Structure 1
Amino acid sequence: MPALTRALAALALVATVLAAPAAASPAEEMNTARDAFRRRDWQAAMPILSSLLYPTPRLSSEEDIYEAHLLLGMSAYESNDRLTATREFEEAIVLQLERKLGTGVFSDDAVALYEERRQALVEKYRLDAEKRALALEREKYRRLVEAMVIVEKRDYYVNFIPFGAGQFQNKQLKKGIFFATAQGVTGAVSAGIWMYLVGSYGLSGTVPNADANDVRRLQQIEIGAGAAFLGLAAWGIVDALVNYKPSIVRKPDESLLPPDLKPAPRSTTRLAPTPLPGGGGVVMTWEF
């Protein structure tokens, strides 16, 4: 009897298991949600669709996932839950950005909201793509500029040109300004006195006795200034030759960068003398 009792219990258990309804598959649940949506039973459709999508989608195809987000968004919209509707529309749009909706199945207002969000996402993705492309181009250009070197050729004959030409070529700005100024002053004094004397007395004219001392003094200044000019010119030539390099290799500077890659200029304040009626003054300029 105990054996018979156990056999009957086992048969009862098997019958119970076979009689229990099998769990619905995701595809069947999706069909149930579709039916509820067609009946406009939003409250019945929403929990089924939500369970199919969250926390992770249980649907196998992208098309079904898109449809589930869309139907959930439409159900939420018709239930006056605009926040959820917007979120679900955007989730659907991300999957199929170019897909538009007709107004035959869904309400016009819901389709309008869907299209509004679609256009916003299309524009956002377009701008993001442009920014990424621009950032990529900038990075390529920066790397190119960093990898570049500039070979600057220097002419030998420039060393023999007075007024600091050799120093300027050697990128010795202060020396170049010194030689240019000193040679300019001494050369101008010597040439100026010579032209004055020639204009006053001619190349081989006779100097009156009354002007002899003044002319002699001017001639001494002329010769001294001329000698100083020649000495400065020779000094400048020697200095330029000593520091001369036929070519130099340097990194590119900011002048090679396009405007959008250059750093913002810093503001500077400058003072400059300026003539004024009855005197002079100083003008302050602010550059930014």
Structure 2
Amino acid sequence: MIPLLLALALTAPPELKRAKDRFEFGAYADAAGTLRRYLATSPPLTEEQAIDAYRMLGISEFQLGDQAQARAAFVNLLSHDPDYALDPFLVPPPIVEFFDRVKREHEPALAPLRERRRALREQERLADEAKRRLLAEERARTGPPTKVVRVQERLYLFNWMPLGAGQFQNGDRAKGTAIAAGQIVAGLVNLGAIVFHNQLAEDRTRTCISGQPGCSSPPYSDSDRELLGRVDAVKYVSAGLFWALYAYGVWDAHQHYVPIVETEVAPGGGGGSISLEWAF
């Protein structure tokens, strides 16, 4: 019931929306005027919209003291649904009693309508059963499906991740392995160079003072200073390689990124249905 009411609220004509707003606010004169003008044009309403419109009009007219107009609105409502009943928890008792009296007075005319609605519902039920039987017979004749479509939904975030995550998601495992291996090696080399550089720079036993042989630029000897320069070069080159591989991986992942991929699998592998999974 709630999804139906929500659907009606989303698809109702603007005139009905305005009338409903005024009705729920208690402005019955405005609601009734809007509904009378709109319904006089014989608008193309669904069964549910027509019932709701005449319900609001009947209640509004009763609240305004015009029982003749309220009766006419309730009769129109019952012509759409002969079994309709007002909710006694939401509608004042005098209006519920008035509505029930109108229904009883028109029972001779409502009985054929009610029977016609039952016949229509029975026809719809028989049609649905015939449709299901037809489809079941066709499935029994043709057998199970020969192929199943598997839908793989890929995460866009993976395109920005390191270690070849985007390539693995796109199915290019060789390229993803190469990028991941390159970044791991570059990262380990960079980390090792940083650690070695810090240990060498903080080793006070290797310092020298000006005037000692091979100590032209204290506190490090010329050989240690040359070694520190080489370690710095390794550190910056490995860091540059790591980020270059990362940038290439992001660019390549975006170039080959497809949000959704459909693949055909054997019925036994897909369970005979469409599946949704994360692919990486």
TM-score range, shorter chain: 0.3 to 0.5
| TM-score between both structures, scaled by the size of structure 2 | 0.37
User: RCO (CA 8 Å, sep 6+): is it higher in 1 or 2?
Assistant: 2
